[in-house]
Amino acid sequence: MKILSILIFLTLAASNALGESAKAPLLSIGSPAPDFNLPGIDGKNHQLSDYDSSRLLAIVFTCNHCPTAQAYEQRLNELATAYSKEDLTLIAISPNDDKAVRLDELGYSEYNDSLEEMIERAKDAEFKFPYLYDGENQKVSWAYGAQVTPQVLIFDEERKLKFNGRIDDNDNPALAKSFETRDAIDALLAGKPVPVETTKVFGCSVKWSSKRENAAEFIERWNAEPSALSLLELDQLESLRKNDSENLRLINVWATWCGPCVAEFPDLVDIHRQYRGRSFETVTVSMDLPKTRSRVDAFLKAKAASMTNYLYNSTDRYALINALDGGEWDGALPYTLLVAPGGKVIYQAQGQFDPLQLKKAIVGHLGRTYFE
């Protein structure tokens, strides 16, 4: 085991030197299951030997943020509960370093891949299986040859690898016709050869720690984006609220003199960067006086606020309130409104918004998989 650990360390170190081109070597059929000791969402550490009582062991590399991984969450729950614990234990492992995941890669989720966020995602999706975190050093994921999320490896009673591949042939469950993981489990339990031992796997790449540099480069790139500020008239406000576009529209009303507005603004910028690659747009409306335009402009530039930014070109603030009110705004700042195409209010918050709840509302409308 000591020699194996040294080999894994050296290989992982080499992968970090290679950067994004690094790829873990596939674990070949017949290989023994590498040992592990990983923290789980239950607050306990889990080891390979903890599951000796199960005839078969299915290890699934998955994560919070990947659209394909999320598409298979319910199917993993079904697999985990379809067999007795004596016959099969299914364990999920998140291989990703959450600091190596770019914001724009989180556009289909409200969560990153930290252990804390894994706990929350498991609650939301009601996971029926252990969910372990390997993002700290990723040695276990490398030893198992994790390539993408989701990826399944099935081990027999002797903990020899018998299947390495996909769950089925389509991330849309309504279109799936070939069920390689279930077929492998059924064959092994029946004492028969696995019909298909390996398959290619479609999904998201593993976010090895070597990708942290890429994530940092994107932050620098975003921070260099220019901001722009335009004056906004009352009739334009009414059009914003009506939302005749095809995009989900996030509207934030704020002011430079409003402490809570300033405090939440970095979260607003992050949300803009996270979801702007989808049918989504962020619009800010400043209630500063028109004569203070230079101060508003300077603030936006300092925050690299590259979304659509307006300064209300009037001192009639009640007209603005009446034009944008989603039904719960008494006029206090900040005020946040999430408007679907056609004008339906999906979310609103008076005072500082809750970033997680806002993200959940965004993903709830846009969908968390490619086929929604």
Q: Write down all domains in the chain, each with its CATH number in brackets.
A: 16-211 (3.40.30.10), 224-366 (3.40.30.10)
pLDDT of 193 above 60: yes
* Mean pLDDT of all residues in 72-101: 96
pLDDT > 90 in the chain, percent: 91
Exposure of 7 in the CB half-sphere (CA atoms within 13 A): 9
* Mean pLDDT of all residues in 313-322: 93
pLDDT of 4 above 60: no
Cis peptide bond upstream of 150, omega within 30: yes
Query: In terms of residues, how long is the chain?
Result: 372
pLDDT value at residue 355: 98
* Mean pLDDT of all residues in 325-330: 85
DSSP-based helix, strand, coil % in the chain, nearest 5: 40, 20, 40
Arithmetic mean of pLDDT over the chain: 93
pLDDT digits (tens, 9 = 90+) for 243-299: 999 999 999 999 999 999 999 999 999 999 999 999 999 999 999 999 999 999 999
pLDDT band at 333 (very low <50, low <70, confident <90, very high): very high
pLDDT value at residue 231: 97
Exposure of 338 in the CB half-sphere (CA atoms within 13 A): 23
Contact 370, 68 (CB under 8 A): yes
pLDDT band at 23 (very low <50, low <70, confident <90, very high): confident
CA distances from 284 to 249, 279, 334 (A): 10, 17, 11
